[in-house]
Structure 1
Amino acid sequence: MLARHDGPMGRGAAGVPHALVARAPSGFGARRPGVTGKQGWRDIDMTVDLAQDFFSRRWWRGLFTLSALTVATALLAPGFAPLPGGRPAMVGEAEETQFVAAGVGSLAEGSDSGIAMAPNAAVEPLTSAPERPTLDLFARIAPGDNLARLLTRLGASYGDAGRAQSLVPGAIAPGTSISITLGRKNGDVRPVERIAFRAGLDSELVIRATPSGLQVQRLGIAVDATPLRIRGRVGDGMYWSLRAAGVTPQTAEEYLKALSGQIDVGSQISPDDRFDLVVANRRAATGENEAGSLLYAGIDRAGSTALQLVKWTVAGQTRWFEASGVGQQTSGMIWPVNAPITSGFGERFHPILHFVRMHRGIDFGAHWGTPIVAAADGQVERAGWSGGYGEQVRLAHAGGIETSYSHMSRIVVGPGSPVRQGQLIGYSGSSGLSTGPHLHYEVMRGGQAINPMGVRFINRSILEGPALAAFQARLKALLSVGRG
């Protein structure tokens, strides 16, 4: 094709209309003399027909271009070596049977590649799948769920689900695994044939279908209740050494708390000391294990006396007693409220009565509703309104010590109830003869008020006679437990 520019109504050099003529940009060839810019176009011969103008300058240029393209193609083309070939391995009879059964074959033979199983001499297609005679299922009880709802969701009838639920004594613990067998389908539901689950560490509950309906049977499992003894070296950290030895976090915390009642765990224990624990434990014959509470807490201290503590109950209160029979002691009282002291013990000018009188306790500037706790172990002597003291709680402690907590807004303990040190007994307020919310705290010895700032209260129990003999027998039995 030739590209020319002969004006808007002209024709190309070969008589081709402008609609079929291509214009080349100015970079393709030389410009017309004296023409620049957008008018700098020149007629360029874009193609060469070797069948015309033989041996002309234009013809030789086309021949040279054709030859150059042919040589370049020959140089850049890949080799002409024959493609590798070979005879594929023959498929044996066994492989061919397997391929046919699995539906692997050519489309020409009518094979659908990828189906589960194709018809062959040993397999025949079924028009419909047969119903499974029984279903063996495993489920787990979720929080808030029960056996009846679980069975109906799995396809059991409402009658069987309700009957099975009525045979279970109490609620099934969340997370319990249940084995369920459902029988042949009858309509849209299946009958319950068997249900089995663990009812506890020592028993399994089995519900079976009988001619007279569902019946329950409890199967006993042997349980070894021998306590578990754990020993080890303290090392770099007591807590993590206990955890590495297999002690649970709760038991490790209880053990450290028991020791802290007798020694300073932070400064009186060295890395070479050895801890010794006895924990209540139940192990079923099927392998399940159930850890209990801490029974014995001991520590063998290098260069110091060993400490042996046993949990023992006296007068309804369980405490830790050391090997000699002396109970865990509480040294000193704690502040009953988390607030600053605003008025001390002694004579002062009363802000309401406007005269000097004896201030029998100390005042804490506690905001309204601040929790108030017992300063030491004791028993509630009085709890209620007490004239100018307002709402008051009065506690009796060992050694003839009494404490009182006045001007409270609310009381949460009753007369005669035992309390432990740090136990909540009420909330601060401004009841009675008071100018604002605060706690008036008093300490009495033998009925006489004493300065709470100078009180050091020691409370401990000592076992004697038959109680001491029973305690020492218990200690001996715990120390005879083998190492776990």
Structure 2
Amino acid sequence: MAFVGPDTALIEGRSFGRARPGQPGTRRVDVLRGTIDVVLPPPPPKPSLRDWPHPVARAWDRWCRKIETRLAGSELAIDLRAAPGALHRLGGTARLALLACPALLAWPAMTPFDASPVPLPDGAEQVELHAQAIRPFLAGATTGRHFAATNRVARVDSVPERATIALTAVLGENDDLARMLQRLGLGSGDATTVKALVAPLTGRDALMPGTRFAITLGPRAVAGDPRPLLQMAFRPRFDLNATVERRGGALALTTRPVPVDSTPLHLVGAAGASLYFAARAAGASPDTVQAYLQAVDQYLPLETIEPGDQFELVFAHKRAIGGAGDGNRDDTGQDGDLLYAGVLRQGKPLLQVMRWGNDGNFYTADALASAGGQGSGLMAAPVAGNITSWFGMRRHPILGFVRMHAGVDFAATYGSPIYAASDGVVSYAGWHGGHGNYVRLDHGGGIDTGYGHMSRIAVGAGARVSRGQVIGYVGSTGLSTGPHLHYELFRGGQPVDPLSIRFVPHHNAVSPTEIAGFQAKMRQLLAVPRAGGATGA
């Protein structure tokens, strides 16, 4: 008995395997102490059909060997790139064609399948399909099942119209009253007459878009003619109701004044996290809130207002007493201009500004009273307008690339006066490249101001000007897209943000009588009862 493979057991003093005759037994494998990894041979492959001992398998094996022997000396795949003139290339081409023939014979036919034609509906089926179809009325829809008339149905040549028709119309943007009435069915004569009657009610202004009309049309005199106007009620102004009605064959206008309460509205509330939304929640309109923020920002930076502060504003308001009752306009009231804007801190006024004068600007009592004694210590606003472009980098609206905007732009109407921000001497007056007509003032102490895009210059170089003096007029000269003032501020020859100096709105010198009137008007506005029973605490 012999062992095949390494032994994993610890065996000493023994010999393995069978010794040759006449020779002593020796070890055929070294015995190692410890464990040896055993490497097993791979399993033998499974026998194929040609390895079976069956006679049929033997015959199949012999036939396969003959084919393999014959094909061993031939080359099935011919390299057509080698030996272009060799004869075996022709054999390879023929073999390729022989192999392609079965594929070409199996190519599928591409003839269309025969299907039964779709039958077209006849006349009766077309009527039935049309009755079941859905079409919009604007496209001339006449869908629905139609029945033939019986003896109970009598045909009539015409259908009688309603004697009167009541309509409600709203005047649209850029619309005309006469055109609107003609679209409703009135004749051109009645429409022109109504327009002439209504014109004196609005003066030079046209009717406001959104005005509602309650219209009643009468019966036609002749079939096919426009209907005549019997009555038209509307509200051309907040304080006036008007009615156009037919009397004795002619149209006449009747007006009825609407009692209006013009007491201003006085709102007070906590600023909170958002001053804008707090004022809106108190009942102010968006335009009123925007006017309030602009008025306050002229004297007090908005970022300094704390959440615990209170806003206070008084604005004009009209309300129909008892309601107009016609439903033409909102009877809850109509807001007007902002009259007073203030900020309260711990119940005490932090800022109080009021609209004063014909220019519509807001002033504090101190600013109005110290008009003659402020000298050049403060900068006056150079023009009455709103800031549309700020100091800093921006994309130039004409040149199209980003560059430094060394000033601020004030939007103002063409020809508005431009004022000197402070006392100084005109160091330059004339054309200045992209600035167009340009004026530069030297205020001393290294402070200069510049004014660009003027339509006309009112001062000359070397002239001495005082704060608030007119030095030119708003225009659009130079690189400009519209009438505005480009205002610059220089400190030591370097441009700085003009808004770093708080502006005082421009005003002329006022008399003590006007100052007293200003203070009396402010007391009158603050005496208006606060809406909703609001308190200052």
Which category describes the TM-score, using the shorter chain as reference length?
0.5 to 0.7
Residues 59-74 of structure 1: pairs in structure 2 closer than 5 A = none
Which residue of 1 is the match for residue 263 of structure 2? 226
Aligned partners of 2:263 and 2:317 also within 8 Å: yes
Q: Is 1:318 matched with 2:360?
A: yes
Give the superposition deviation at 1:297.
0.8
Distance 1:146 1:440, change over 3 A: closer
Distance 1:199 1:398, change over 3 A: farther
Which residue of 2 is the match for residue 415 of structure 1? 458
d(CA) in 1 for partners of 2:520 and 2:175? 47
Q: Is 1:470 matched with 2:517?
A: yes
Q: Is 1:180 matched with 2:228?
A: no
Aligned partners of 2:312 and 2:343 also within 8 Å: yes
Which residue of 2 is the match for residue 132 of structure 1? 162
Q: Is 1:308 matched with 2:375?
A: no
Distance 1:266 1:134, change over 3 A: same
Give the superposition deviation at 1:258.
1.8
Which residue of 1 is the match for residue 309 of structure 2? 273
d(CA) in 2 for partners of 1:252 and 1:442? 30
Distance 1:467 1:159, change over 3 A: same
Distance 1:384 1:178, change over 3 A: farther
Letter in 2 for 1:183: G
Which residue of 1 is the match for residue 478 of structure 2? 427
d(CA) in 2 for partners of 1:476 and 1:216? 43
Give the superposition deviation at 1:234.
1.6
The partner residue of 1:394 within 432, 439, 445 is 439
Distance 1:395 1:216, change over 3 A: farther
Q: Is 1:168 matched with 2:198?
A: yes
d(CA) in 2 for partners of 1:397 and 1:291? 45
Distance 1:418 1:130, change over 3 A: farther
Residues 83-98 of structure 1: pairs in structure 2 closer than 5 A = none
Structure number with larger C-alpha Rg: 2
d(CA) in 2 for partners of 1:202 and 1:297? 27
Q: Match of 2:354, SS? A: strand
1:359-395 deviations in whole A, cap 9, x for unaligned?
A: xxxxxx9989999847996159999856999954226
Give the superposition deviation at 1:262.
2.4
Aligned partners of 1:274 and 1:299 also within 8 Å: yes
1:163-202 deviations in whole A, cap 9, x for unaligned?
A: 2222221633222111111111222221111111111101
The partner residue of 1:141 within 161, 171, 177 is 171
Aligned partners of 1:224 and 1:282 also within 8 Å: yes
d(CA) in 1 for partners of 2:238 and 2:504? 40
Residues 355-370 of structure 1: pairs in structure 2 closer than 5 A = none
Which residue of 1 is the match for residue 181 of structure 2? 151
Instruction: With the length of structure 1 as denominator, give the TM-score of the two structures.
Output: 0.53
Letter in 1 for 2:260: V
More moved, 473-482 vs 452-461: 452-461
Stretches of structure 2 that go unaligned for 5 or more consecutive residues are: 1-152, 325-330, 394-400, 412-416, 460-467, 481-485, 532-537
Give the superposition deviation at 1:465.
0.9
Letter in 2 for 1:481: V
d(CA) in 1 for partners of 2:433 and 2:188? 67
Which residue of 1 is the match for residue 342 of structure 2? 298
Letter in 2 for 1:393: Y
Which residue of 2 is the match for residue 207 of structure 1? 244
Aligned partners of 1:282 and 1:289 also within 8 Å: yes
Distance 1:207 1:371, change over 3 A: farther
Number of residue pairs matched by the alignment:
319
Distance 1:278 1:180, change over 3 A: same
Letter in 2 for 1:415: A
Quote the sequence identity (%).
28
Which residue of 2 is the match for residue 446 of structure 1? none
RMSD: 5.0
Give the superposition deviation at 1:146.
2.0
Give the superposition deviation at 1:320.
2.0
Aligned partners of 2:455 and 2:474 also within 8 Å: no
d(CA) in 1 for partners of 2:341 and 2:171? 37
Aligned partners of 1:383 and 1:411 also within 8 Å: no
Q: Is 1:378 matched with 2:406?
A: no
d(CA) in 2 for partners of 1:440 and 1:144? 37
Letter in 2 for 1:412: S
d(CA) in 2 for partners of 1:467 and 1:397? 33
Give the superposition deviation at 1:278.
0.4
Give the superposition deviation at 1:257.
2.0
1:82-141 deviations in whole A, cap 9, x for unaligned?
A: xxxxxxxxxxxxxxxxxxxxxxxxxxxxxxxxxxxxxxxxxx999675321111111111
Instruction: With the length of structure 2 as denominator, give the TM-score of the two structures.
Output: 0.49
Which residue of 1 is the match for residue 71 of structure 2? none
Stretches of structure 1 that go unaligned for 5 or more consecutive residues are: 1-123, 341-364, 430-438, 444-448
Distance 1:458 1:167, change over 3 A: closer
Aligned partners of 2:458 and 2:471 also within 8 Å: no
Aligned partners of 1:229 and 1:481 also within 8 Å: yes
Give the superposition deviation at 1:319.
2.6
Give the superposition deviation at 1:453.
5.6
Aligned partners of 2:436 and 2:479 also within 8 Å: no
